[in-house]
Amino acid sequence: MSLLSSVERAPRDPILGLTEAFKADDRPGKVNLGVGVYMDADGTVPLLECVKTAQDRLAANPAPYGYLPIDGLAAYDDAVVDLVFGDTVPRDHVAVVQGLGGTGSLKVAGDLLRRLQPEAKVLISDPSWENHQALFSRAGFEVERYPYYDAEAHGVDVDAMVTALGEAPAGTVVVLHACCHNPTGYDLTPDEWARVEQVVRERGLVPLLDMAYQGFATDLASDGAAVRRFAASGPVFVTTSFSKTFSLYGERVGALSVVCADADEAARVLSQLKIVVRTTYSNPPTNGATLVATVLGDAELRSQWEGELAGMRDRIKEMRVALRSGLEQARPGIVAEHITTQNGMFSYSGLGKEQMVRLREEFALYGLDSGRLAIPALNPGNLDRVVDALAKVWP
């Protein structure tokens, strides 16, 4: 038997693999409610005006594409720290590297943490973004879950969550969703964050906050509050993604920031992060980070970005309201209120695998088997069709 003849076919990725199946479907009226990608009312991924202006500026002054430093574009790294932490921590207390989107940044975090704490476990929420489990397992960790979603209450079981964290051994890495929890859409309140932060610090756990949707729940400041709370009280790992917030999915723009005790510690941590980066992808790409740094570094473009981000957020909220009221009209008595109380791109609908498969097979509507629906895929042109189909399978 040759080396490759025994290779097993792996299952398709639960999120991006669904997009592959969606693309291969030639039925008219199909809708991809799977992947978390923001689309405009006409069903296209937007090119933000602020990004277009930045592109035009860069095109007017073409620059060669030399290697970036291992940790990335300095102006970009500074802009990330400013956006994520404001004045909560001194700049030189933060070790930051430009990452390949949120996923690439999590991967760098996972690899460093595994070297620092080889015996530690990683705790992720139950449920969590599918890639958290896969990514931290691949980094060599044993991954377990802390209670999070309360199906009956349509919310978070914060008591169970705090109890579980209170029993975790010191050094356990706890992955938290900074805002717009993926997949449920249920976030902690500020008081609940205070409880979680307290138990994390009391137990000596290692918090890792994944922030891929800053600005999609309420605004940049409120959505960043949990990260700043942790940054003010001790070490924290924070991953940032600009895929959604800048609509720069294919550019893979993200970052990993590690808040340290002082500048010396940050310099030592950065030196280790650079080894992880150098041995993984050597150094990051130039274009996306330059676009983000250009926008964040220019007061006018930054305020235009905040307006465009608010526009995306508002359209998602409108679609939530329209979906809920459509369902309530289609089937009086239906329980759909939670669609409008969840945050961010996703609605954890409460539908099970059987119903999701039926949606796919009978109606060409592609949501995740977990029941997660990507709300930005909805628009006035497909809403009625989606409502009709959902009303037929809704419990």
Residue 325 contacts residue 319 (beta carbons within 8 Å): no
Tell me whether residue 141 or residue 216 sits nearer to ligand LMR (CB atom). 216
The H-or-E segment that residue 100 falls in is: strand 94-100
185 near ligand LMR, rule: CB under 6 A = no
Residue 253 CB, shortest distance to ligand LMR, in Å, is 13
Residue 73 contacts residue 289 (beta carbons within 8 Å): yes
Q: How many residues does the chain have?
A: 395
Tell me whether residue 185 or residue 207 sits nearer to ligand LMR (CB atom). 185
Cβ neighbours of residue 268 closer than 8 Å, sequence gap 6 or more: none
- Total residues at the site for ligand LMR (CB under 6 A)? 6
193 near ligand LMR, rule: CB under 6 A = no
d(CA 128, CA 305): 29
d(CA 331, CA 103): 39
Residue 199 CB, shortest distance to ligand LMR, in Å, is 27
d(CA 238, CA 86): 14
Residue 253 contacts residue 104 (beta carbons within 8 Å): no
Residue 103 CB, shortest distance to ligand LMR, in Å, is 6
Tell me whether residue 46 or residue 235 sits nearer to ligand LMR (CB atom). 46
Q: Is 244 a catalytic residue?
A: yes
Tokens of 127: 């449920």
Tell which one of 53, 105, 172, 182 touches ligand LMR (CB under 6 A).
182
Residue 376 CB, shortest distance to ligand LMR, in Å, is 10
131 near ligand LMR, rule: CB under 6 A = yes
371 near ligand LMR, rule: CB under 6 A = no
Active-site residue (options: 129, 157, 187, 305): 129
Q: Is 78 a catalytic residue?
A: no
Q: Is 193 a catalytic residue?
A: no
Print the binding letters for residues 27-66 with ligand LMR: x by CB under 6 A, - otherwise. Answer: --------xx------------------------------
The residue with its CB nearest to ligand LMR is 36
15 near ligand LMR, rule: CB under 6 A = yes
Q: Is 308 exposed, middle or buried (0-12, 13-18, 19+ CB in 10 A)?
A: buried
Tell me how many degrees the CA angle 25-28-31 measures, rounded to the nearest 5. 70
Residue 339 φ/ψ, nearest 5 degrees: -60, -35
Query: 3-state DSSP call for residue 47?
Result: coil
Active site residues: 129, 210, 244
| Residues at the site binding ligand LMR, with contacts judged by CB under 6 A | 15, 35-36, 129, 131, 182
